[in-house]
Homo-oligomer: A and B are copies of this chain.
Amino acid sequence: MAVTIKDLARETGLTAATISAYFNGASVRPYNREKIERAIDKLGYIRNDYARALRTHRSMTIGVLIPELSNMFFTGLVTEIEEALRLKRYGLIICDCRSDPSREREAVKFLQSKTVDGIIVMPATDSASSLMSAVDKRLPVVALDNYTESRSISHVVVNNRNAAKQATEQMLAQGHRKIAVIHGDEKLFTSRERLAGCRNAAAQADGVLIAEQGGNSVRGGYEAAKKALCEHPDLQGLFATNYEMSIGAAVALKECGKQIDENFAFTGFDCAKILPVLCPGMHMVLQPAHELGAVAAETLLAMIDGGPVRNIILNCRII
C-alpha cells in the first residue's frame, strides 16, 4: 500500500540500490537523478525509517522524557532541544512521564523499542534507576536540569545554588532583610540546591529567611506566598524558586496589594515572558533555556558519536 523504493525502481527502470544511493548522497548520473526525482513526486514516496533503521542501526530519532507536559519551563526546554536537533536532521519522540518513575521506566523501554539513538531526560527524581535499561545497553543518555546519581550519563544543569544565593544576596543588599523563599519539592536535587543557596546568603548577611514549601505548582506557589505574607506582615521580600510557583506568588502579591518598591522586593524564576510585564521592578533568575537545550542536544550527539560522559554546569542570569 505504501510507496516503496521498489516502486521507484520500477517507475524509473533503475535498481533499488541506485535509488538508495541517490538518497544517501552518492553520485548518480544527471538523467537518472531527474528520473528519480520525477518518480518521487509522482508517487509521493516517503522513506520508511523502520526499514532503514533496521538495516543501519541508526534511527536519526532521539527520545525526550519530560516530567510534565503542563510545566512550561520544561516544554520550553523541549522546544529548544527540538530546534537544535532539527538542524542535525534528527527527529524527536516526546514522552510525558507525569513525574512518575514507573512511567519513566516504561517510557525508556518504549523509546528503546523504537530504537532511538539517544535519550534526553528531565529526571523526575534524583534516582536514575528508571534509566538503567538504557544505560545498560550503552544507549547515550543526557539528564537535563537535574542531577542524578548515575555516573554513566551526562548532565547539563545550572549552578542552582549560586544563582539562588546571588539573587538572595541582591535582595539583602538592597536592604530587604526579612525574606520568604517559596521553594520546590525537596526530593529534587535542584530544589534543595536553590534553597541551600538562599540559606547561605541569609546566613552570611545576617538576614532572616522564612522557607515555605510551594510544591512545584502555580497553586502551591500562590498558597505558600499567601501564607508567608499573612503570617509575616513585616516581610520585606519574596523569592519563588521556580516557574510555576513564581506565577502563583505574583498573583498572591497582587491580591494582597503588595507594591514592589524600596520596601518590598520580589524575585521570580524563569518566566521572562509574562511576569516582568505584570510586576515591573521585580527581579528574575533566568536559566539559559536556549543554551540548556542546545548544550544537551550537542552533548547527546557527541555521545552518539562515541564521545565521553560530560557534566556541564551553566550559569543563570539575574535581571
Contacts and interface: CB of A to CB of B under 8 A. Distances in A.
Contacts of A278: 222, 251, 255
A10 to B, nearest CB: 18
Contact of A254 (B70, B82, B254): B254
A70 B59 contact: no
A219 B277 contact: yes
Interface stretch (A111-119, A170-178, A204-212, A297-305): A111-119
Nearest to A111: B91
A46 interface: yes
B44 A136 contact: yes
A287 B222 CA distance: 25
A218 B2 contact: no
A57 B4 CA distance: 13
Interface in A146-162: none
A70 to B, nearest CB: 5
B75 A79 contact: no
Contacts of A95: 92, 94
A310 interface: no
A44 B2 CA distance: 33
Interface stretch (A47-55, A190-198, A233-241): A47-55
Nearest to A63: B93
A1 interface: yes
A61 B113 CA distance: 11
Contacts of A79: 69-70, 96, 98
Given A70-B76, A94-B94, A44 B115 contact: no
Interface of A: 1-2, 44, 46-51, 53-54, 57, 59, 61, 69-70, 72, 75-76, 78-79, 82, 91-96, 98, 109-110, 112-115, 133, 136-138, 218-219, 222, 248, 251, 254-255, 273-274, 277-278
21 contacts: A1-B137, A2-B57, A2-B115, A44-B137, A46-B133, A48-B113, A49-B113, A49-B115, A50-B53, A54-B54, A69-B76, A69-B78, A70-B76, A70-B79, A94-B94, A94-B95, A218-B273, A222-B274, A222-B278, A251-B254, A254-B254
